């Protein structure tokens, strides 16, 4: 993981809160800063690039992340215990080769996310909008319960084998 990121100080944190309150994009404010343990709930982040970093315990609940004209990249990033409750991902989003264990994706719109080789064990996707495809999810680890919940009430059974 990279350790070259700056820490968000209290003055910047207050500026971020003001931007969020006013519905402004915080992308330029957080660029180059560590997002670990930060509260970015209800934020608009049009440009996000997290490569080989640690954003664990960051709260992105109700956030809008991404844009139609840029690729959002979260690659080889530790994002354990992040909260994406009711977050919306826009445009092309790559969450690849990440450690996303124990994240909350409940009611999140992650339909445009390409999540190859990411570990989602312990994460929750209840009510999430997600695209399940071989190309998007190759090499992923999902909680077994996700697929059991998915087929509840359907006239079919999905057998999940752990590898």
- What's the structural domain count of the chain? 1
Instruction: Please write the tens of the pLDDT for every residue from 45-91.
Output: 999 999 999 999 999 999 999 999 999 999 999 999 999 999 999 99
- CA separation for the pair 92, 64 (Å, rounded): 13
pLDDT over 90 percentage in the chain:
74
pLDDT of amino acid 136: 80
To which residue do tokens 């990121």 refer? 5
CATH number for the domain spanning 80: value is: 2.160.20
Domain residues for the domain of 53 are 10-150
The radius of gyration of the chain from alpha carbons, rounded to an integer in Å, stands at 16
86 domain residue, yes or no: yes
pLDDT of amino acid 3: 55
Instruction: Please write the tens of the pLDDT for every residue from 13-38.
Output: 999 999 999 999 999 999 999 999 99
155 domain residue, yes or no: no
User: CB neighbours of 159 closer than 8 A, spacing ≥ 6?
Assistant: none
35 domain residue, yes or no: yes
78 domain residue, yes or no: yes
pLDDT of amino acid 151: 72
Our measurement of the distance from residue 124's CA atom to the centroid of its chain's CA atoms, rounded to an integer in Å, reads 12
160 domain residue, yes or no: no
34 domain residue, yes or no: yes
Q: What global pTM score does this model have? A: 0.89
- CA separation for the pair 83, 110 (Å, rounded): 13
**1 pLDDT higher than 60:** no
């Amino acid at each position: 993981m990279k350790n070259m990121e700056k820490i968000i100080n209290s003055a910047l944190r207050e500026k971020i809160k003001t931007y969020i309150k006013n519905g402004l994009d915080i992308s330029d404010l957080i660029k180059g800063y560590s997002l670990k343990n930060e509260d970015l709930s209800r934020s608009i982040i049009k440009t996000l690039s997290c490569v080989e970093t640690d954003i664990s315990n960051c709260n992105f609940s109700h956030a809008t992340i991404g844009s139609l004209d840029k690729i959002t990249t979260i690659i080889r990033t530790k994002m354990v215990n992040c909260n994406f409750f009711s977050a919306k991902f826009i445009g092309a989003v790559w969450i690849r080769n990440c450690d996303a264990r124990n994240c909350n994706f409940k009611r999140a719109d992650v339909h445009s996310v390409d999540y190859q080789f990411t570990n989602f064990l312990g994460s929750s996707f209840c009510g999430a909008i997600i695209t399940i495809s071989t190309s998007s999810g190759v090499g992923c680890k999902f909680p077994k319960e996700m697929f059991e919940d998915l087929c509840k009430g359907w006239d079919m059974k999905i057998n999940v084998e752990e590898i």
